[in-house]
Amino acid sequence: MSPSNTLAARVHRHHVVIIGSGFGGLFAAKQLRKANVDVTLIAKTTHHLFQPLLYQVATGILSEGEIAPSTRMILKDQHNASVILGEVNSIDLENKVVTSQFLERITETGYDSLIVAAGAGQSYFGNDHFAEYAPGMKTIDDALELRGRIIGAFDQAELSTDPEEIERLLTFVVVGAGPTGVEMAGQIAELATKTLDGTYRHIDSRSAKIILLDAAPKVLPPFADSLGQAAAKRLTKMGVDIQLGAMVTDLDANGLTVEDLPLDGREGGTVRRISARTKVWSAGVAASPLGKTLAAQSGAEIDRAGRVLVNPDLTLPGHPEVFVVGDMMSLGKLPGVAQVAIQGGRYAARVIEDGVEAVRAGKTVPERTPFKYFDKGSMATVSRFSAVAQVGPIKVTGFIAWVMWLLVHLLYIVGFRSRLTTVISWLTAFFSRGRGQLAITEQQVDARRAMVYFTAPEPATAPEPESATRPLQESRP
Ligand SMILES: Cc1cc2nc3c(=O)[nH]c(=O)nc-3n(C[C@H](O)[C@H](O)[C@H](O)COP(=O)(O)OP(=O)(O)OC[C@H]3O[C@@H](n4cnc5c(N)ncnc54)[C@H](O)[C@@H]3O)c2cc1C
């Protein structure tokens, strides 16, 4: 076939555009590998990010490459798929066009079917300025920044002679006691008491104080009470100070203001201050702003977290060609977890393929059966060799749950190479207590503030260097 024929054949094929290379987007693209369609995947990162292991990047167990394989490499042999790097900033439902931007280049991509899987970002519940002092954990940049802040805090403490400052530098507060918060608090504790033990000459890394706090009255709210209690018990044994019913009302470079909520539900609790240089935010999520765009054009509703209320076949009202999957969609009470996104992406791809095949065969397009989620269970690690898992009515804690966690995560890491290197890193971290990814750079830690400065409309003055983000500049007299 000549090149022009190839192009003609492609132009006439059904074109599926997928926004996002996360769990929903990538698994939808892969599901379409044998379909008689062209697939264009548009994402603002070049990788597929395995978010559940971000906390291991933030605490030096894994490298970012191990949990973020290149999307192009993954789809290299899928000849009906191509990848566009760019941030989608507009979707025109009427004309079926998606507009994306990469640096100054703007690309318009037409579609026959659209799968929107742009996920969710961190929510600070209207206090976006908290982000500067308490990064969340949604991207590779977040995880590397956190790693820099955590290890940088130990390094600053090593250089300080002021006991009050040392205490502030060695206090780490994780806000949000869901799975991510529990995993993060457990790993900072292990980093301080095992990995970094004996590596500093003037401070004892084991004296670090790790606080896990949440406004809710329990740890791991989505899990059964007994599993939340088991996780809390294990964390307490590791030295983590769990503070429940504690709501963060303010945050700055040197600490947090917290209100202890009265147990009887009345308003107006005791307000106190926690001095802590390093804060991690794992308390809330907000769906991609693309949800609002879709809702405004289709009349779909959005919930409080910005998720789009979809039809039972995951489409927008009045737009059977537009699917919304994963963390961006709201259907029943489905949780924002990887399996919902994977199954939703695959479902949308199958519906599209069935429709295209029916048209090609001159048959009636089959009626769509509603999306049905198969719950494979939930799990969270607490520490080395300890996790909690819930599969239907079965609840498991401790070592067996940890092995289950290990196997399930390995299964869903995309690509043989990433799996192999992850196993090697895990063996090093779990059996020697050493961690291979403790490198930090000042640039990683400063990037967030620099970006704000450089993208501000009229930067009057250069940003004040803040010692919280300049780990190696103070010197011991
Ligand atoms: C720290 C953390 C730990 C987690 N742990 C677990 C766990 O243990 N188990 C579990 O089941 N779930 C876990 N989750 C949740 C799980 O990762 C999500 O539910 C899942 O990633 C949702 O998939 P998605 O495809 O909807 O979105 P994502 O995986 O977030 O993918 C969104 C994609 O869209 C792209 N994108 C976003 N906006 C745009 C735009 N405007 N233009 C172009 N591209 C865009 C992003 O770059 C990304 O590629 C965790 C999440 C986090 C953050």
How far apart are the CA of 373 and the centre of ligand 1, in A?
18
**121 Cα nearest atom in ligand 1:** 30
Residues 6+ apart with CB under 8 A from 110: 15, 17, 95, 96, 97, 98
Instruction: Tell me the H-state helices in 160-224.
Output: 163-169, 179-190
Instruction: Assess whether the C-beta atom of 275 lies below 6 angstroms from ligand 1.
Output: no
Say whether both 264 and 406 belong to one domain.
Answer: yes
Catalytic residue flag (residue 301): no
Structure tokens at 373: 């989620």
Domain boundary among 360, 392, 418: 360
Instruction: Assess whether the C-beta atom of 192 lies below 6 angstroms from ligand 1.
Output: no
pLDDT at 30: 98
The residue to mutate among 45, 98, 337, 406, having the most atoms of ligand 1 within 8 angstroms of its beta carbon, is: 337
**Is residue 59 included in any domain, yes or no?**
no
**139 Cα nearest atom in ligand 1:** 53
Residue closest to 38 by CA, chosen among 81, 6, 69, 85: 81
Q: What letters, b where the CB count within 10 A reaches 16 and e where it falls short, cover 385-396?
A: ebbbbbeeeebb
pLDDT at 476: 34
How far apart are the CA of 119 and the centre of ligand 1, in A?
5
Say whether both 103 and 142 belong to one domain.
Answer: no
Q: What 8-state DSSP symbol labels residue 190?
A: H
pLDDT at 463: 45
Structure tokens at 417: 């190479």
Say whether both 158 and 236 belong to one domain.
Answer: yes
* pTM for the model: 0.90
**Is residue 207 included in any domain, yes or no?**
yes
pLDDT at 11: 52
pLDDT at 265: 67
Residue nearest to atom 50 of ligand 1 (CA): 52
How far apart are the CA of 214 and the centre of ligand 1, in A?
23
Say whether both 133 and 111 belong to one domain.
Answer: no
Instruction: Assess whether the C-beta atom of 142 lies below 6 angstroms from ligand 1.
Output: no
Domain boundary among 333, 360, 387: 360
**Is residue 440 included in any domain, yes or no?**
no
User: For 412, how many CA atoms within 13 A lie in the half-sphere containing its CB?
Assistant: 23
pLDDT at 269: 82
CATH number at residue 293: 3.50.50.60
Say whether both 139 and 253 belong to one domain.
Answer: yes
- From CA 195, how far away is CA 199, in angstroms rounded? 8
Say whether both 109 and 184 belong to one domain.
Answer: no
**Is residue 70 included in any domain, yes or no?**
no
Residues 6+ apart with CB under 8 A from 173: 211, 213, 256, 274, 276, 278, 279, 280
Q: One digit per residue, pLDDT tens: the chain, 477 residues?
A: 333 334 444 457 999 999 999 999 999 999 999 999 999 999 999 999 999 999 999 999 999 999 999 999 999 999 999 999 999 999 999 999 999 999 999 999 999 999 999 999 999 999 999 999 999 999 999 999 999 999 999 999 999 999 999 999 999 999 999 999 999 999 999 999 999 999 999 999 999 999 999 999 999 988 999 999 999 999 999 999 999 999 999 999 999 999 998 877 677 789 999 999 999 999 989 999 999 999 999 999 999 999 999 999 999 999 999 999 999 999 999 999 999 999 999 999 999 999 999 999 999 998 999 999 999 889 999 988 999 999 888 999 999 999 999 888 888 887 777 888 888 888 888 888 789 899 999 888 877 777 777 766 654 444 444 433 333 333 333
Residue nearest to atom 36 of ligand 1 (CA): 118
Instruction: Assess whether the C-beta atom of 41 lies below 6 angstroms from ligand 1.
Output: no
How big is the chain by its Cα radius of gyration, in Å? 24
Say whether both 252 and 351 belong to one domain.
Answer: no
Residues 6+ apart with CB under 8 A from 234: 186, 382, 383, 386
**119 Cα nearest atom in ligand 1:** 27
CA 427 centroid distance within chain: 24
How far apart are the CA of 326 and the centre of ligand 1, in A?
8
Q: In which domain, by residue range, is 327 found?
A: 3-44+86-122+286-360
DSSP per position, 74-128: HTTT-TTEEEEE-EEEEEETTTTEEEEEETTEEEEEE-SEEEE---EEE--TT-G
- From CA 407, how far away is CA 422, in angstroms rounded? 12
**325 Cα nearest atom in ligand 1:** 26
Say whether both 389 and 251 belong to one domain.
Answer: yes
CATH number at residue 144: 3.50.50.100
Say whether both 241 and 171 belong to one domain.
Answer: yes
Q: Which one is catalytic: 183, 190, 259, 353?
A: 183
Instruction: Assess whether the C-beta atom of 180 lies below 6 angstroms from ligand 1.
Output: yes
Task: Say how many domains are in the chain.
Answer: 2
Q: Scan for tokens 């926004």, then name that residue.
A: 19
Domain boundary among 332, 360, 388: 360
Say whether both 353 and 383 belong to one domain.
Answer: no
Say whether both 243 and 389 belong to one domain.
Answer: yes
**Is residue 118 included in any domain, yes or no?**
yes
Instruction: Assess whether the C-beta atom of 137 lies below 6 angstroms from ligand 1.
Output: yes
Instruction: Assess whether the C-beta atom of 22 lies below 6 angstroms from ligand 1.
Output: yes
pLDDT at 473: 34
The residue to mutate among 40, 51, 56, 102, having the most atoms of ligand 1 within 8 angstroms of its beta carbon, is: 51
**Is residue 183 included in any domain, yes or no?**
yes
Instruction: Assess whether the C-beta atom of 24 lies below 6 angstroms from ligand 1.
Output: yes
pLDDT at 471: 34
Say whether both 178 and 223 belong to one domain.
Answer: yes
Instruction: Assess whether the C-beta atom of 181 lies below 6 angstroms from ligand 1.
Output: no
**Is residue 50 included in any domain, yes or no?**
no
